[in-house]
Chain A
Amino acid sequence: MKHLLSTADLDVADAVRILDTAGSMAATQAREIKKLPTLRGRTVVNLFFEDSTRTRISFETAAKRLSADVINFSAKGSSVSKGESLKDTALTLQAMGADAVVIRHHASGAPHTLATSGWTHGAVINAGDGMHQHPTQALLDAYTLRRHLAGPGDVTGRDLTGLRIAIVGDVLHSRVARSNVHLLHTLGAEVVLVAPPTLLPVGVGAWPARVSYHLDEVLADEKPDAIMMLRVQRERMSSAGGGFFPSPLEYTRRYGLDARRLALLPEHAIVLHPGPMNRGLEISADAADSTRAVIVEQVANGVAVRMAVLYLLLAGGDAPARAASPTDETKVDA
C-alpha cells in the first residue's frame, strides 16, 4: 500500500490490518509516555487547502506520537491565496523532502492527482477531498464500531459481518458517507442510507447499500446496531431557488436524531457523528450527550487510526512496537 486515497482501494485484509494496527497503537496511547520512535527522522506534511482544525490536529498528533517531524501548511495565509497552484505547492514541499503528504482539498480527486502526478514522491494520505472520500474517518468509524459491537472479548482480526449500520443525512455531498459505504460493505456490514430524496445522488442505486427516505421506519423495522449522523450544512437548507430542503426545522423533524428516536434504537446500539455537530439540527443535545453516543471516543480513536495509517505507509508494516500489557483494544484518553 503506497497511498491511502479511498476506502474503495482497501480489501478486507487491508482494512482489518489497519484496524488491528490501530488497536496496538491505541494500547500505547494508554501509557504515560505516549511516544513511539517508529517514524523518527521522517517528515510528514499536512497540506490543508480546506479549513479543518480537528482533522489536522489529529494527524499532527498521530505523526508526533510516532516521532515524525510535522510541517503544517494551510491554504489561508500561504501563497495559494496568491494563486499558487496545487502543482507548485506540492513541488515546493517536495523540494523540502516530505516522506508523506496528508492532503485535504476542496476538489474531488486532488489527492489522486497528487499521487499520480509525480509532483511528490512520498506517500499521499487523503484527509478529505471535496465530496469524494475521507478514508481515515471511515477507518476510525469502523474501528469504533468494531470495538463496541464485534465482541465479546478481543476483537483483533475481526470484521463487521452481521452488523447493520444506518447512515443518516446529506449523503449527496458527503465524503464521509462515500468512504463509509465502501468500507463497511468490505468489512461485511449492511448499510442503510437514510436521507430525503434531494440529498441522495442520482447514482446511489449502484452503491452496496439500501436506501430509505423514512428514519422512523428504519429505526423501528431494521433495528440498526449503530446510527451514524452526517453533518448537514445550514447553507444547503434554504429552499430559495435550489435549496435542498424547505427549512432546517422540517429537516430536523423528519431526519433529526432526538431523544424519542434514540429510544427506538436497540439497547446495545451506539450513535456516531464525524463532527462538527450542529446541535439541534441533525442531532439533539439529548442524543449527542447520551451514554450511547461515542462521538468523543471517535475523535480519540482517530489518533490511533491515523498513527496506524502513517505507520503502515511509512514503516512498511513490520510488527509495531508492542504495548506493555493489554492485547484487547483500549479506549484512548482524549
Chain B
Amino acid sequence: MTRNYLLRDVSPLGEGTTDVLLADGIIAAIGADAEAQAQDPVIINGSGLVLLPGLVDLHTHLREPGREDAETVRSGTRAAAMGGFTAVHAMANTTPTQDTAGVVEQVWRLGRDAGWVDVRPVGAVTVGLEGERLAELGAMAESAAQVRVFSDDGKCVHDPVVMRRALEYVKAFDGVIAQHAQEPRLTEGAQMHEGVVSAELGLAGWPAVAEEAIIARDVLLAEHVGSRLHVCHLSTAGSVEIIRWAKSRGIDVTAEVTPHHLVLTDELARGYDPVFKVNPPLRTQRDVEAVREGLADGTIDIVATDHAPHTREDKDCEWGAAAFGMTGLETALSVVQETMVDTGRMTWADVARVLSTAPARIGRVTDHGRPIAVGEPANLTLVDPGIRRVVVPEEQATQSVNSPFRGRELSGCVIATWLRGRATVMDGSACDESVVVSS
C-alpha cells in the first residue's frame, strides 16, 4: 500500500507556494485541503522546492536488449527517475532492433517490471534500421507497447521515398516519425563538426548542411502528405531557422534539442577527449546561441536527453576509434536550469512545458505531463534549484560514465520523484527497496 505524501510549502511550476497531497496514485488535494485530507502521510518540507510534472524524455537509449554492458532497462530507468523523469521513450537501435511487436513488447515489459518509470519503446521506421523497407509499424502500434513514436535514430531515413511512405503510413494510428537528420553521403567518416576547429585538428567534418538539408526536405514532405514530423536533436542555427519557417507555414513539425547542445561547443574537441564525441556533433557558439533562442521562443518544442551510455572501452581510446554519445538523464534538468532559467530566458512553467507537457503530447503519452491539479495522476518531481553539486559520473545511477559534465558544478537537484503516487526517488536517493513488481 503506497503511503500518502504531504508536500508542504512547495512551489508548483515555481509559481507561489502551497501544500499538495498525493494519495491513491493521484493528486488528491491542493491547498488547505491537503493537510486536512492527509492520512498518516510522509511529510515533506518543500520550502524553496519547485514541483514539476514528472519529466518525459522523448529520446533515450536504454541499450537493452543487446548492450547490457553499457546500460539496462533497469539501470537506465533508475537513472531517469533520479533525473526527475517518470516516462522515457527507449530508442530502437538495440540488438535485436526494436522493429517488431515482439521486441517492443519485450522492452515495454522490462520497463514495467523494473518499475522506475513508464517505458515507451520507440519503433524502428525501417527493418533493421537499414533504411530500405518499412518495419511493421502498425503491429508495433497495436502491441502492448502501444508505440506512437517511430525512429531509426542513430541513422537517418535518408531515402526520400521511404521517408514519404513512413510519414503517410503513421497517420493511420496517430504516429509520428522522429527523424535523425544526417545526410549519410555528406557525413561519411565524419568525426566532429566541420569548421575551423576540425580543419585544425585534422578530423573529418560533419557539416551543418547535412542536418539542415534533410530537415528542409522532410518538412516539405510532411506538408505535402499532411503528416506530422518530429526532428531529433536539432543542433544548428540553420536548422532552427528552417523549423521556424516551416511552422510559420503551418507545417506540423516539432523539434527537440539536447542539454549538451545547449551549452557545449566544438572547441572541446581540441583535447581529443572522446567524451565530447557525439552525433550530431557539438557545434559552434553561434549554434549554441541559436538553439537557446529557439528553445526560449518555442521554435524548438522540447528538450530531450539523447542519453547514450557507452562502456569504458568504447570511450577510453583515440578519438577516431571511440563511439558517439553522452549520458544525460541525471544532468538534463540542471543544464536547462542553468542555461535557461537562471539566465531569465525561461520560467519553471516553461521548463515543465519543454521537459514534460510537450514531449508527452508529441509521444501521445496520456497520463504524463499533466497539469498539477486535483485528480491528475501523481507523476511528479520535486526539485531544489538552490543546491550546487559537482558531477561525478561514477556516483550516478547510470551504468556508464561518459558524461561530458564530469567535474562541472551544476545547479539544481531532484529531491523526489513519484510514479503514480509511489516514490521512486526520495531525499535525493533512489528508493530501491520500494520499487517492486507492480501487478
Chain A residues close to B by CB (< 8 Å): 8, 85-87, 105-110, 112-113, 116, 129-133, 175, 178, 201-207, 241-242
B220 interface residue (CB < 8 Å to A): no
Q: Which residues of A contact B263 (CB under 8 A)?
A: none
Q: Which residues of A contact B433 (CB under 8 A)?
A: none
- Could you tell me the distance between the alpha carbons of A129 and B318 in the complex, rounded to whole angstroms? 11
Known: A105-B318, A106-B320, A116-B271. A85 touches B202 (CB 8 A): no
**Contact between A133 and B318 (Cβ–Cβ < 8 Å)?**
no
B197 interface residue (CB < 8 Å to A): yes
**Contact between B318 and A110 (Cβ–Cβ < 8 Å)?**
yes
**Contact between B205 and A107 (Cβ–Cβ < 8 Å)?**
no
Which residue in B195, B200, B205, B316 is a CB contact (below 8 Å) of A178? B200
Known: A175-B202, A203-B195. A109 touches B320 (CB 8 A): yes
Given contacts A85-B313, A175-B202, 11 further A-B contacts (CB under 8 A): A87-B316, A105-B318, A108-B201, A109-B203, A131-B202, A178-B200, A201-B198, A202-B195, A202-B205, A203-B198, A203-B200
**Which chain B residue has the least Cβ–Cβ distance from A171?**
B199
Q: Which residues of B contact A130 (CB under 8 A)?
A: 202-203, 320
**Contact between B319 and A107 (Cβ–Cβ < 8 Å)?**
yes
Q: What are 7 A-B residue pairs whose CB atoms fall within 8 Å in the complex?
A: A86-B317, A87-B316, A109-B203, A113-B317, A131-B203, A202-B199, A206-B196
Known: A109-B203, A129-B202. A203 touches B196 (CB 8 A): yes
B286 interface residue (CB < 8 Å to A): no
- Could you tell me the distance between the alpha carbons of A103 and B318 in the complex, rounded to whole angstroms? 13
The digit string for B182-200, where 1 denotes a CB below 8 A from any CB of A, is: 0001001001001111111
Q: Which residues of B contact A207 (CB under 8 A)?
A: 199-200
B321 interface residue (CB < 8 Å to A): yes
Q: Which residues of A contact B203 (CB under 8 A)?
A: 108-109, 130-132
- Shortest B175–chain A CB gap in Å is 34
**Which chain B residue has the least Cβ–Cβ distance from A201?**
B199
- Could you tell me the distance between the alpha carbons of A87 and B207 in the complex, rounded to whole angstroms? 30
**Contact between A107 and B320 (Cβ–Cβ < 8 Å)?**
yes
**Contact between A113 and B202 (Cβ–Cβ < 8 Å)?**
no
**Contact between B199 and A108 (Cβ–Cβ < 8 Å)?**
no
The digit string for B293-321, where 1 denotes a CB below 8 A from any CB of A, is: 00000000000000000000100111111
Known: A132-B201, A204-B199. A109 touches B317 (CB 8 A): no
Q: Which residues of B contact A107 (CB under 8 A)?
A: 318-321
- Shortest A39–chain B CB gap in Å is 28
- Could you tell me the distance between the alpha carbons of A238 and B373 in the complex, rounded to whole angstroms? 66
- Could you tell me the distance between the alpha carbons of A131 and B200 in the complex, rounded to whole angstroms? 9
Q: Which residues of B contact A129 (CB under 8 A)?
A: 202
B272 interface residue (CB < 8 Å to A): yes
- Could you tell me the distance between the alpha carbons of A109 and B201 in the complex, rounded to whole angstroms? 8
Q: Which residues of B contact A85 (CB under 8 A)?
A: 313, 317, 321
State the total of A-B contacts with C-beta under 8 angstroms. 78
**Contact between A202 and B202 (Cβ–Cβ < 8 Å)?**
no
Which has the most chain B C-beta neighbours within 10 Å: A109, A201, A204?
A109
**Which chain A residue has the least Cβ–Cβ distance from B321?**
A107
Q: Which residues of A contact B318 (CB under 8 A)?
A: 86, 105, 107, 109-110, 113
**Contact between B321 and A86 (Cβ–Cβ < 8 Å)?**
yes
Task: Report the interface size for chain B: residues with CB under 8 A from the other chain.
Answer: 25
Q: Which residues of B contact A112 (CB under 8 A)?
A: 271-272
Interface residue ranges of B259-311 to A (CB < 8 Å): 271-272
**Contact between A206 and B317 (Cβ–Cβ < 8 Å)?**
no
The digit string for B203-221, where 1 denotes a CB below 8 A from any CB of A, is: 1110100000000000000
- Shortest A135–chain B CB gap in Å is 13
Known: A86-B318, A203-B195. A108 touches B202 (CB 8 A): yes
- Could you tell me the distance between the alpha carbons of A113 and B276 in the complex, rounded to whole angstroms? 14
Interface residue ranges of B146-203 to A (CB < 8 Å): 185, 188, 191, 194-203
- Shortest B200–chain A CB gap in Å is 7
- Could you tell me the distance between the alpha carbons of A203 and B196 in the complex, rounded to whole angstroms? 4
**Contact between A109 and B272 (Cβ–Cβ < 8 Å)?**
yes
- Could you tell me the distance between the alpha carbons of A175 and B204 in the complex, rounded to whole angstroms? 13
**Contact between A202 and B319 (Cβ–Cβ < 8 Å)?**
no
**Contact between B207 and A202 (Cβ–Cβ < 8 Å)?**
yes
- Could you tell me the distance between the alpha carbons of A241 and B184 in the complex, rounded to whole angstroms? 13
Q: Which residues of B contact A175 (CB under 8 A)?
A: 202
Q: Which residues of B contact A201 (CB under 8 A)?
A: 198-199, 205
- Could you tell me the distance between the alpha carbons of A107 and B318 in the complex, rounded to whole angstroms? 7
- Could you tell me the distance between the alpha carbons of A241 and B188 in the complex, rounded to whole angstroms? 12
Q: Which residues of A contact B271 (CB under 8 A)?
A: 112, 116
- Could you tell me the distance between the alpha carbons of A242 and B317 in the complex, rounded to whole angstroms? 29
**Contact between A206 and B199 (Cβ–Cβ < 8 Å)?**
yes
- Shortest B208–chain A CB gap in Å is 10
Q: Which residues of A contact B320 (CB under 8 A)?
A: 106-110, 130
- Could you tell me the distance between the alpha carbons of A116 and B321 in the complex, rounded to whole angstroms? 17
Which residue in A87, A133, A204, A205 is a CB contact (below 8 Å) of B202? A133
7 closest A-B pairs (Cβ-Cβ)? A203-B199, A109-B272, A132-B202, A107-B320, A131-B202, A201-B199, A203-B196
Q: Which residues of B contact A131 (CB under 8 A)?
A: 202-204
Which has the most chain A C-beta neighbours within 10 Å: B185, B272, B313?
B272
- Shortest A216–chain B CB gap in Å is 26
Q: Which residues of B contact A133 (CB under 8 A)?
A: 202
Q: Which residues of A contact B272 (CB under 8 A)?
A: 108-109, 112-113
Interface residue ranges of B306-353 to A (CB < 8 Å): 313, 316-321
- Could you tell me the distance between the alpha carbons of A86 and B321 in the complex, rounded to whole angstroms? 10
- Could you tell me the distance between the alpha carbons of A75 and B185 in the complex, rounded to whole angstroms? 30
**Which chain B residue has the least Cβ–Cβ distance from A112?**
B272
- Shortest B198–chain A CB gap in Å is 7
**Which chain A residue has the least Cβ–Cβ distance from B197?**
A203
- Shortest B315–chain A CB gap in Å is 11
- Shortest A2–chain B CB gap in Å is 16
- Shortest B363–chain A CB gap in Å is 37
- Shortest A91–chain B CB gap in Å is 12
**Contact between A202 and B194 (Cβ–Cβ < 8 Å)?**
yes
